[in-house]
Amino acid sequence: MTGNESNVVARRGLMLVLSSPSGAGKTTIARALLEREAGISMSVSATTRSPRQGETDGKDYHFVDVERFHRMVEAGEFLEHARVFNNFYGTPRAPVEATLAQGNDVLFDIDWQGTQQLGQNPNAQNDLVSVFILPPSLEELYRRLSGRGLDSPEIVAGRMARAGDEMSHWPEYDYIVVNDDLDRSIDAVRSILAAARLKRERQADLAGFVNRLRGLDRDSGG
């Protein structure tokens, strides 16, 4: 079973992408989702940025230097990659492909550039479900970025300066969640996941299952 739906009909895994301006709350929502949902795991990105206090290599990110990052790009190891806030970020391809092939889902915390790349990839676009998280106001975004206490005032200012541009990409996403009340936002993203899992196209053997229900395949031994 790959989530909270029936385990009778097999299905392909899906790629659930969360994007937002920095500080709007996607990491917080992602962590809560992973605690509450079975059958979904986080894609751990590679990045050239330095670890923040409390971040663990291999769990929050794979922290690599710029040279290593470029070697990974050259070797085609990324499903998507982008430069964000003067650092490089990329999604390692192999773990995502292995997880999807097992019928499990993958959660991504990536920016709009990475989401665009996944949407343009013929092998990925059918598995993609994208959610854009908006802050309730710019004042609250600033409060969250500075209240997190992990970035210098210069970095906070840089991220605030980029927020408008990033938010302009909301029309490229399937779903929009305004992250005002955290519990409501978590519930909203869980509902999106539940609905996406039940999409007809994603349930791989529906035709065979219904044929068996109708007794149409008795002679084929299925």
Ligand X SMILES: Nc1ncnc2c1ncn2[C@@H]1O[C@H](COP(=O)(O)OP(=O)(O)OP(=O)(O)O)[C@@H](O)[C@H]1O
Please report, as ranges, the residues that interact with ligand X according to CB under 6 A: 20, 22-28, 144, 147-148, 179, 182, 185
User: For tokens 């922290």, what's the residue?
Assistant: 63
CA dist 81 to 43, 93, 106, 115, Å? 13, 10, 17, 10
| Residues near 60 by beta carbon (within 8 Å), at least 6 away in sequence | 44, 51
Crossing angle for the helix pair 26-36 and 182-197, to the nearest 10 degrees: 60
Spatial CB neighbours of 122, under 8 Å, sequence gap ≥ 6: none
Dist CA 189 CA 17 (whole Å) = 10
Among ligand LQESDW3C, ligand X, none, residue 135 binds (CB under 5-8 Å by kind) = none
Query: Is 59 part of any known ligand binding site?
Result: no
Closest CA to 41 of 89, 99, 1: 99
Binding marks (x or -) toward ligand LQESDW3C, 158..197, rule CB under 6 A? ----------------------------------------
Q: Are 29 and 45 in contact (CB under 8 A)?
A: no
39 binds, among ligand LQESDW3C, ligand X, none (CB under 5 to 8 A by kind): none
Tell me which amino acid residue 140 is. Answer: E
**Which residue in the set 2, 30, 72, 91 belongs to the binding site for ligand LQESDW3C (CB under 6 A)?**
91
CA distance 215 to 213: 5
Residue 45 contacts ligand LQESDW3C per CB under 6 A: yes
- Rounded to a whole number of angstroms, the minimum distance from the CB of residue 148 to ligand X is 4
The binder of ligand LQESDW3C chosen from 5, 9, 42, 49 (CB under 6 A): 49
Query: Which residue stretches of 75-150 are H helix?
Result: 93-101, 112-120, 138-147
109 part of the interface to ligand LQESDW3C, by CB under 6 A: yes
CB of 166 to ligand LQESDW3C, least distance (A): 7
Q: Is there a binding annotation on residue 24?
A: yes
The residue number with the shortest CB distance to ligand LQESDW3C is 114
Residue identified by tokens 């079973």 is 1
**Which residues contribute to the site for ligand LQESDW3C (CB under 6 A)?**
22, 45, 49, 80, 82, 84-85, 89-91, 109-111, 113-114
**Annotated binding site, which residues?**
20-27
**Annotated binding site for ATP, which residues?**
20-27
